[in-house]
């Protein structure tokens, strides 16, 4: 089966997780990182999930799943130990046309979750179509080495420069040339070394006065905090 890759905007939107174990915990944290409103349904839950409930980060129904629990949800994940529960969640989601993922059961999934490298605004998703999660994990680990934390700031710089160029009314050809020059530059390495002088000098040479980290609203992370 070939999947259609897509990134969903779930910020502030209700998502339901059935199950309260470690897998459900990972799914909840992932959904929270995307800004979702998360509800967990399970009589038992991990320490981390209970902490999130106490903090008000997620909602939890301390009982078993029952039909109707997906009402209003835009996305559902079933991570129950019970095949019967997982099947019931899948069937309800199908009836309501809600995207659903049943963990480790591709046959009962409306979508699958890829292995992800996240660097701020940069998201790299890897999938083998459910055929080999281990291969996807291996590739992800390789990419994590190639695209370190400095790429979070690099993406911020690229976005800020592009926004400023668009606002200035520069023509498309020049804008694309500038962005290509930025992408080909050693800037990720400078960011990693906290070399703000080199970065500002490059920005000025490429774009002229008015272009610097501070004017773009981008701050480098302190070395001690890396």
Same domain, 129 and 32: no
Same domain, 94 and 1: yes
Domain range enclosing 188: 150-225
Same domain, 92 and 13: yes
pLDDT at 224 over 60: no
Same domain, 125 and 190: no
What total number of domains does the chain contain?
Answer: 3
pLDDT at 74 over 50: yes
Same domain, 30 and 107: yes
Proportion of the chain above pLDDT 90, given as a percent: 90
8 Å CB contact between 149 and 119:
yes
Same domain, 98 and 190: no
Q: In this predicted structure, what is the pLDDT of residue 163?
A: 95
Confidence of residue 130 (pLDDT cuts 50, 70, 90): confident
DSSP state of 38: E
Same domain, 10 and 108: yes
Helices (H), the chain: 22-33, 47-55, 83-96, 133-146, 150-168, 172-184, 187-192, 196-207, 213-216
Same domain, 183 and 93: no
Question: How much is the pTM?
Answer: 0.86
Residue ending a domain, choose from 125, 147, 169: 147
Same domain, 96 and 119: no
Cα-Cα end-to-end distance for the chain: 41
Same domain, 124 and 204: no
* Average pLDDT across the chain, whole number: 95
Q: List beta partners, residue 17.
A: 40, 77
Residue ending a domain, choose from 85, 112, 139: 112
pLDDT at 19 over 90: yes
pLDDT higher for 151 or 224? Answer: 151
Assign residue 52 the CATH number of its domain: 3.40.50.720
Residue ending a domain, choose from 61, 91, 112: 112
pLDDT at 43 over 70: yes
Same domain, 31 and 104: yes
Q: In this predicted structure, what is the pLDDT of residue 226?
A: 46
* Burial of residue 126, with CB atoms counted within 10 A of its CB: 0-12 exposed, 13-18 middle, 19 or more buried: middle
Same domain, 72 and 89: yes
DSSP state of 44: S
Q: In this predicted structure, what is the pLDDT of residue 55?
A: 98
pLDDT at 16 over 50: yes
């Amino acid at each position: 089966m070939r999947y259609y890759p897509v990134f969903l905007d779930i910020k502030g939107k209700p998502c339901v997780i059935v199950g309260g174990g470690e897998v459900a915990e990972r799914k909840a944290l992932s959904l929270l990182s995307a800004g979702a409103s998360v509800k967990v349904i399970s009589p038992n839950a991990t320490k981390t999930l209970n902490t999130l409930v106490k903090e008000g980060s997620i909602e939890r129904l301390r009982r078993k799943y029952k039909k109707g629990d997906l009402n209003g949800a835009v996305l559902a994940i079933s991570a129950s130990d019970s095949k019967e529960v997982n099947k019931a969640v899948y069937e309800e989601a199908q009836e309501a046309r809600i995207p659903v993922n049943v963990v480790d059961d591709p046959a009962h999934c409306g979508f699958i979750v890829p292995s992800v490298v996240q660097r701020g605004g940069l998201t790299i998703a890897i999938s083998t179509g459910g055929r080999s999660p281990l291969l996807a994990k291996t590739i992800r680990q390789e990419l994590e080495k190639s695209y370190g934390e400095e790429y979070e700031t690099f993406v911020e710089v690229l976005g800020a420069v592009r926004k400023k160029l668009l606002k200035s009314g520069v023509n498309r050809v020049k804008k694309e040339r500038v962005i290509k020059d930025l992408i080909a530059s050693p800037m990720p390495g400078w960011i990693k070394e906290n070399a703000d002088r080199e970065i500002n000098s490059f920005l000025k040479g490429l774009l002229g006065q008015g272009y610097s980290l501070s004017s773009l609203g981008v701050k480098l992370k302190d070395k001690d905090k890396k």
